Amino acid sequence: MYSAVMSTPERLIEATRALLWDRGYVGTSPKAVQQAAGAGQGSMYHHFAGKSDLALAAIRRTAEELGAEVEAVLGGGGTAYSRIEAYLLRERDVLRGCPVGRLTMDPEIIADPVLRTPVDEVLGRVRARLAAVVQEGLDDGEFGTRLDAEDVAATILATVQGGYVSARAAGTRDSFDRAVRGLLGLLAPRTTGH
Protein backbone atom coordinates (compact mmCIF):
# COMPACT_ATOMS: atom_id res chain seq x y z
CA MET A 1 0.00 0.00 0.00
CA TYR A 2 2.86 2.37 0.78
CA SER A 3 6.12 2.93 -1.02
CA ALA A 4 9.02 0.69 -0.15
CA VAL A 5 11.20 3.78 0.16
CA MET A 6 9.09 5.06 3.04
CA SER A 7 10.49 4.34 6.46
CA THR A 8 8.50 2.16 8.83
CA PRO A 9 7.50 5.11 11.05
CA GLU A 10 6.30 7.01 7.95
CA ARG A 11 4.24 4.04 6.76
CA LEU A 12 2.72 3.68 10.24
CA ILE A 13 1.83 7.38 10.40
CA GLU A 14 0.32 7.40 6.90
CA ALA A 15 -1.67 4.24 7.58
CA THR A 16 -2.97 5.73 10.83
CA ARG A 17 -3.95 8.96 9.08
CA ALA A 18 -5.99 7.04 6.51
CA LEU A 19 -7.63 4.83 9.11
CA LEU A 20 -8.50 7.76 11.40
CA TRP A 21 -10.18 9.50 8.47
CA ASP A 22 -12.12 6.41 7.43
CA ARG A 23 -12.80 4.65 10.73
CA GLY A 24 -12.18 7.07 13.58
CA TYR A 25 -10.04 6.46 16.65
CA VAL A 26 -11.89 3.41 17.99
CA GLY A 27 -11.89 1.74 14.57
CA THR A 28 -8.17 2.36 14.15
CA SER A 29 -6.82 -0.71 15.86
CA PRO A 30 -3.07 -1.36 16.13
CA LYS A 31 -3.59 -4.53 14.09
CA ALA A 32 -5.33 -2.59 11.29
CA VAL A 33 -2.51 -0.02 11.30
CA GLN A 34 0.14 -2.73 11.15
CA GLN A 35 -1.63 -4.50 8.27
CA ALA A 36 -2.14 -1.29 6.30
CA ALA A 37 1.47 -0.21 6.87
CA GLY A 38 2.97 -3.63 6.24
CA ALA A 39 4.71 -3.45 9.61
CA GLY A 40 4.93 -5.86 12.47
CA GLN A 41 3.81 -5.28 16.03
CA GLY A 42 7.40 -5.04 17.20
CA SER A 43 8.15 -2.32 14.66
CA MET A 44 5.12 -0.32 15.70
CA TYR A 45 5.98 -0.40 19.38
CA HIS A 46 9.65 0.23 18.66
CA HIS A 47 8.78 3.58 17.06
CA PHE A 48 5.69 4.58 19.04
CA ALA A 49 4.73 4.13 22.68
CA GLY A 50 1.25 2.95 21.72
CA LYS A 51 -1.88 3.72 19.79
CA SER A 52 -2.31 7.17 21.33
CA ASP A 53 1.28 8.18 20.51
CA LEU A 54 0.91 7.00 16.92
CA ALA A 55 -2.48 8.71 16.59
CA LEU A 56 -0.97 11.96 17.86
CA ALA A 57 1.78 11.79 15.21
CA ALA A 58 -0.86 11.13 12.53
CA ILE A 59 -3.12 13.93 13.75
CA ARG A 60 -0.20 16.37 13.82
CA ARG A 61 0.74 15.40 10.27
CA THR A 62 -2.84 15.86 9.08
CA ALA A 63 -3.03 19.25 10.81
CA GLU A 64 0.30 20.36 9.32
CA GLU A 65 -0.83 19.31 5.86
CA LEU A 66 -4.10 21.24 6.13
CA GLY A 67 -2.27 24.31 7.42
CA ALA A 68 0.17 24.19 4.50
CA GLU A 69 -2.64 23.73 1.94
CA VAL A 70 -4.56 26.70 3.35
CA GLU A 71 -1.46 28.89 3.44
CA ALA A 72 -0.62 27.98 -0.16
CA VAL A 73 -4.03 29.28 -1.27
CA LEU A 74 -4.50 32.24 1.08
CA GLY A 75 -0.88 33.37 0.92
CA GLY A 76 -0.91 33.69 -2.86
CA GLY A 77 -1.32 36.86 -4.82
CA GLY A 78 -4.50 38.59 -5.80
CA THR A 79 -7.30 40.36 -4.05
CA ALA A 80 -8.65 39.24 -0.71
CA TYR A 81 -11.84 38.09 -2.40
CA SER A 82 -9.97 36.09 -5.05
CA ARG A 83 -7.91 34.32 -2.37
CA ILE A 84 -11.01 33.50 -0.31
CA GLU A 85 -12.71 32.32 -3.50
CA ALA A 86 -9.70 30.11 -4.27
CA TYR A 87 -9.83 28.68 -0.74
CA LEU A 88 -13.55 27.92 -1.01
CA LEU A 89 -13.31 26.48 -4.53
CA ARG A 90 -10.08 24.49 -4.07
CA GLU A 91 -10.07 20.82 -4.99
CA ARG A 92 -11.67 18.73 -2.24
CA ASP A 93 -13.11 15.28 -1.82
CA VAL A 94 -16.32 16.78 -0.43
CA LEU A 95 -18.13 13.50 0.16
CA ARG A 96 -15.19 12.11 2.10
CA GLY A 97 -15.11 15.20 4.29
CA CYS A 98 -12.31 17.15 5.87
CA PRO A 99 -9.70 14.94 7.56
CA VAL A 100 -9.34 17.48 10.38
CA GLY A 101 -13.05 18.24 10.63
CA ARG A 102 -13.79 14.54 10.90
CA LEU A 103 -11.50 14.35 13.93
CA THR A 104 -13.70 16.90 15.74
CA MET A 105 -16.58 14.43 15.54
CA ASP A 106 -14.58 11.65 17.16
CA PRO A 107 -15.53 11.50 20.87
CA GLU A 108 -12.27 9.80 21.88
CA ILE A 109 -10.14 12.48 20.25
CA ILE A 110 -12.19 15.35 21.60
CA ALA A 111 -12.15 13.86 25.11
CA ASP A 112 -8.34 13.59 25.08
CA PRO A 113 -6.72 17.04 25.45
CA VAL A 114 -3.44 15.82 23.95
CA LEU A 115 -5.09 14.45 20.79
CA ARG A 116 -7.52 17.37 20.53
CA THR A 117 -4.86 20.11 20.77
CA PRO A 118 -3.40 19.84 17.23
CA VAL A 119 -6.95 19.80 15.81
CA ASP A 120 -7.95 22.91 17.75
CA GLU A 121 -4.68 24.66 16.93
CA VAL A 122 -4.86 24.14 13.17
CA LEU A 123 -8.51 25.20 12.99
CA GLY A 124 -7.51 28.30 14.97
CA ARG A 125 -4.65 29.00 12.53
CA VAL A 126 -6.97 28.59 9.53
CA ARG A 127 -9.52 30.92 11.09
CA ALA A 128 -6.79 33.48 11.92
CA ARG A 129 -5.37 33.32 8.38
CA LEU A 130 -8.83 33.80 6.91
CA ALA A 131 -9.41 36.75 9.26
CA ALA A 132 -6.13 38.33 8.14
CA VAL A 133 -7.15 38.05 4.47
CA VAL A 134 -10.59 39.49 5.21
CA GLN A 135 -8.96 42.34 7.13
CA GLU A 136 -6.76 43.07 4.10
CA GLY A 137 -9.93 43.29 2.02
CA LEU A 138 -11.50 45.62 4.56
CA ASP A 139 -8.41 47.81 4.70
CA ASP A 140 -8.31 48.02 0.90
CA GLY A 141 -12.00 48.93 0.70
CA GLU A 142 -12.79 45.70 -1.09
CA PHE A 143 -15.47 44.61 1.41
CA GLY A 144 -18.25 46.52 3.12
CA THR A 145 -17.09 48.33 6.24
CA ARG A 146 -19.75 46.74 8.44
CA LEU A 147 -18.01 43.37 8.28
CA ASP A 148 -15.91 42.08 11.13
CA ALA A 149 -12.89 40.09 9.94
CA GLU A 150 -13.06 37.57 12.80
CA ASP A 151 -16.78 36.97 12.30
CA VAL A 152 -16.39 36.52 8.55
CA ALA A 153 -13.49 34.09 9.08
CA ALA A 154 -15.62 32.05 11.46
CA THR A 155 -18.44 32.06 8.90
CA ILE A 156 -16.13 30.87 6.11
CA LEU A 157 -14.78 28.03 8.25
CA ALA A 158 -18.30 27.08 9.40
CA THR A 159 -19.54 27.10 5.80
CA VAL A 160 -16.80 24.72 4.69
CA GLN A 161 -17.13 22.34 7.64
CA GLY A 162 -20.93 22.46 7.63
CA GLY A 163 -20.90 21.99 3.88
CA TYR A 164 -18.97 18.75 4.29
CA VAL A 165 -21.51 17.48 6.81
CA SER A 166 -24.57 18.33 4.72
CA ALA A 167 -22.99 16.92 1.55
CA ARG A 168 -22.11 13.65 3.29
CA ALA A 169 -25.62 13.40 4.72
CA ALA A 170 -27.21 13.93 1.29
CA GLY A 171 -24.68 11.78 -0.55
CA THR A 172 -24.03 14.58 -3.05
CA ARG A 173 -21.78 17.62 -3.06
CA ASP A 174 -24.65 19.89 -4.17
CA SER A 175 -25.29 21.37 -0.71
CA PHE A 176 -21.57 22.11 -0.26
CA ASP A 177 -21.41 23.86 -3.62
CA ARG A 178 -24.58 25.86 -2.92
CA ALA A 179 -23.23 27.01 0.46
CA VAL A 180 -19.96 28.10 -1.14
CA ARG A 181 -21.75 29.97 -3.94
CA GLY A 182 -24.02 31.65 -1.40
CA LEU A 183 -21.13 32.77 0.76
CA LEU A 184 -19.17 34.06 -2.23
CA GLY A 185 -22.26 35.99 -3.31
CA LEU A 186 -22.47 37.61 0.12
CA LEU A 187 -18.77 38.48 0.11
CA ALA A 188 -18.59 39.70 -3.50
CA PRO A 189 -16.93 43.11 -3.58
CA ARG A 190 -19.29 45.97 -3.98
CA THR A 191 -19.19 47.71 -7.30
CA THR A 192 -19.69 51.38 -7.62
CA GLY A 193 -22.23 52.20 -10.25
CA HIS A 194 -25.35 54.21 -10.77
User: Given its phi and psi angles, is residue 98 left (phi above 0), alpha (psi -120 to 50 degrees) or beta?
Assistant: beta
51-78 exposure pattern, b = at least 16 Cβ within 10 A, e = fewer: beebbbbbbbbbbeebbeebeebbeeee
2: in domain:
no
80: in domain:
yes
By residue range, what is the domain housing residue 163?
A: 8-187
Q: What is the CATH number of the domain that holds 107?
A: 1.10.357.10
116, pLDDT greater than 70 = yes
3: in domain:
no
46: in domain:
yes
Per-residue pLDDT tens over the stretch 130-145: 999 999 999 999 998 7
Per-residue pLDDT tens over the stretch 37-74: 988 888 888 888 889 999 999 999 999 999 999 999 99
pLDDT for position 107: 92
Closest C-alpha to 50, from 31, 30, 22: 30
193: in domain:
no
26: in domain:
yes
192, pLDDT greater than 70 = no
Question: Is residue 18 very low, low, confident or very high in pLDDT (cuts 50, 70, 90)?
Answer: very high
Helix (H) or strand (E) holding 159: helix 149-170
Sign of CA dihedral 127, 131, 137, 143: positive
55: in domain:
yes
Total number of domains in the chain = 1
Q: What is the pTM of this model?
A: 0.89
94: in domain:
yes
CB distance 13 to 52 below 8 Å:
no
